Amino acid sequence: MTDNTVPADRVEVAPEPPRPPAADTEVRFFLWLRSLGIVRDDGWLGGVCGAIAQRTGVDPLIVRGIVVVVTVLGFPALWLYAIAWALLPDRAGRIPLQMRSGSGPGLAGVALTIVAALVTTWAGNSFIELVATVAYPGRWVWSFVEASLWFAGIGAVAAILILFLRRRSARLELPHTGVDGAVSGTAAVSGGAAVFVGNGAAPPSHLPEPVEPLADALASAEELDVWRAQHAAWREQHDAWRRAQTDGSAAAEERARRQAEYAAFRAEARRVRAEARAMRPRTSIAFVTITIGAAVVAATGVWLVFQPQAEERSVQAAVLAAAAVTAVAMIVAGALRRRSGFLAAITMILLLIGGSGLATYLVDDMIGPDRYVPMPDGDQDLAQPWGQLTLDVGGPYDESGVTRIEKGTGTVWITVNPGVDVEFETTSETGGVLVENYSDDGQFLDQEAVDAQGGRFTWSHDDPRTSRTRTIILDQSEVDVHIQTWGVQK
């Protein structure tokens, strides 16, 4: 009887068990994703908007509306949608990116979304900008509209984020946070056995381990043999139990438990939503569908009516007609005690498109602030209510002609390249005209302030090497003109 036989046996009590099936191990990243409690469900496409709506408590239609609007405005929402689709679990707990059984349709959807995102990115412009460029010449109104829409979009995203963070603290108890609080997520899902062995703790079993007789002088050889036989039997049983557990029954149990928790979570979320809907019901999809159909019909009708007499403004009128229909639908929805957030979003988008089209039509000949304008081959009329205007005279393509500028406020910069004569005059003598001369090699030579004579400023520049002449007439009540002439020979 030696001391080292027993320890040798005890070491074998907990051999390295077989690895649990791959389906039940999960990297921490996916566990963390699941723990967010964002579950794709109730979706029109991938259910990502529905997931965000459910997680934040915002109406899904509003989330969808915001996503559509920011996508239309050129925000890369499609890329984010594809990523979210690939990473978020659905109601059955399937994450497409894990590529397990049942991930096929999800992955196909993700791939299609990526294709759509590629197409929109390749197109480069936002959809509305594209419409504005194609349908309405002159887009200075659009620059303001676009800026305000961007601010609105960013504000909406920030609002959702804040809402999300605030709800996160008070969220429902979610599945996938571990079997018990102390055990990490990996241990909870991977079935326990491997981790317990790795930690050196006693392996769990349904039977207690036989107590070893005191190995010292008190125990006889027979007693020790009996104990060894008992222990061997126990080990066999224990190994069988552990095999059964890792072979899937425990994993299946775990899966079932997880699914049950998901189902309970979903049911609770559905109940909360139903309650909110009963208190503040929204317009039905049927109502919205009828409204959209009526809007399309009305828009087409107005477009047709405008065709014979005013073809050039028929598109704007058609869009505004659609807006009028959705606006009336908002009134009807309100009277029927229904919320009309989605209709309001559609109406605002239509009003913005139609309104900017109308404004652009009315001020078609005007240019926006801070513009750089090359001179044309011939005459030219410019109207700029405010902002800076930079004229480039004597470029490779412009020929002789007259440029008339109607201007409200703002500075005019005129760059005169070598090889052109310039005649410049204003309609007012208020303000100032400053001329800077530069040599052929870009050296600053001198500057002069032009004096007003006969109620106006006049200045002329003669380049002996050329015969082309650009005449610039500035109609502005108080002028602020800076002229730079290049290639001056002194």
Stretch that binds another protein, among 52-60, 161-169, 221-229, 383-391 (CB under 8 A): 383-391
3-state per-residue secondary structure call for the chain: CCCCHHHHHHHHHCCCCCCCCHHHCCCHHHHHHHHCCCCECCCCCCCHHHHHHHHHCCCHHHHHHHHHHHHHCCCCHHHHHHHHHHHCCECCCCCHHHCCCCCHHHHHHHHHHHHHHHHHHHHCCCHHHHHHHHHCCCCHHHHHHHHHHHHHHHHHHHHHHHHHHHHHHCCCCCCCCCCCCCCCHHHHHCCCHHHHHHHCCCCCCCCCCCCCCCCCCCCCHHHHHHHHHHHHHHHHHHHHHHHHHHHHHHHHHHHHHHHHHHHHHHHHHHHHHHHHHHHCCECCHHHHHHHHHHHHHHHHHHHHHHHHHHHHHHHHHHHHHHHHHHHHHHHHHHHCCCECHHHHHHHHHHHHHHHHHHHHHHCCCECCCCEEEECCECCEEEEECCCCEEEEECCCCCECEEEEEEECCCCEEEEECCCCEEEEEECCCCEEEEEEEECCCCCEEEEEEECEECCEEEEEECCCCCCCEEEEEEECCCEEEEEEECCCCC
Is 170 one of the binding residues for another protein (CB under 8 A)? Answer: no
Is residue 224 involved in binding another protein (CB under 8 A)?
no
Tell me which residues in 423-462 interact with another protein (CB under 8 A): none
The residue (of 107 and 366) whose beta carbon lies closer to another protein is 366
335 sits near another protein (criterion: CB under 8 A): yes
Q: Contact between 281 and another protein (CB under 8 A)?
A: yes
Q: Measured from the CB atom, is 119 or 310 closer to another protein?
A: 310
Q: How far apart are CA 367 and CA 384, in angstroms?
A: 5
Quick check: 57 binds another protein (CB under 8 A)?
A: no
Nearer to another protein by C-beta: 312 or 440?
312
* Choices 94-102, 236-244, 408-416, 460-468; region in contact with another protein by CB under 8 A: 408-416
In the bound state with another protein, the residue whose beta carbon lies nearer, of 149 and 358, is: 358
Does 361 interact with another protein (rule: CB under 8 A)? Answer: yes
Among 184, 237, 284, 409, binds another protein (CB under 8 A): 409
**Interactions with another protein, residue window 229-258 (CB under 8 A):** none
Residue 292 as a binder of another protein (CB under 8 A): the answer is no
317 binds another protein (CB under 8 A): yes
Q: What's the min distance (Å) between Cβ of 434 and another protein? A: 21
| Region from 193-201, 258-266, 326-334, 444-452 binding another protein, contact rule CB under 8 A | 326-334
- State which of positions 134-163 bind another protein (CB under 8 A): none
Among 54, 56, 340, 437, binds another protein (CB under 8 A): 340
Instruction: Decide: is 310 part of the binding site for another protein (CB under 8 A).
Output: yes
Among 337, 396, 442, 454, binds another protein (CB under 8 A): 337
The span from the CA of 475 to the CA of 260, in Å, is: 77
Among 63, 87, 110, 351, binds another protein (CB under 8 A): 351
* Contact between 233 and 208 (Cβ < 8 Å): no
* 111-127 as b/e: b if 16+ CB within 10 A: eebbeebeebeeeeebe
330 binds another protein (CB under 8 A): yes
Least distance from another protein to the Cβ atom of residue 276, Å: 11
Asked whether position 77 contacts another protein by CB under 8 A, the answer is: no
CB closer to another protein out of 85 and 303: 303
Interface residue with another protein among 52, 95, 327, 416 (CB under 8 A) is 327
Residue 147 C-beta: closest distance to another protein, Å: 13
Which of 161, 386, 455, 462: binder of another protein (CB under 8 A)?
Answer: 386
| 280 interacts with another protein by CB under 8 A | yes
Instruction: Please give the residue ranges that form the binding site for another protein (CB under 8 A).
Output: 278-281, 302, 306, 309-310, 313, 316-317, 320-321, 323-324, 326-331, 333-335, 337-340, 343-344, 347-348, 350-351, 354-355, 358, 361-363, 366, 385-387, 406-410
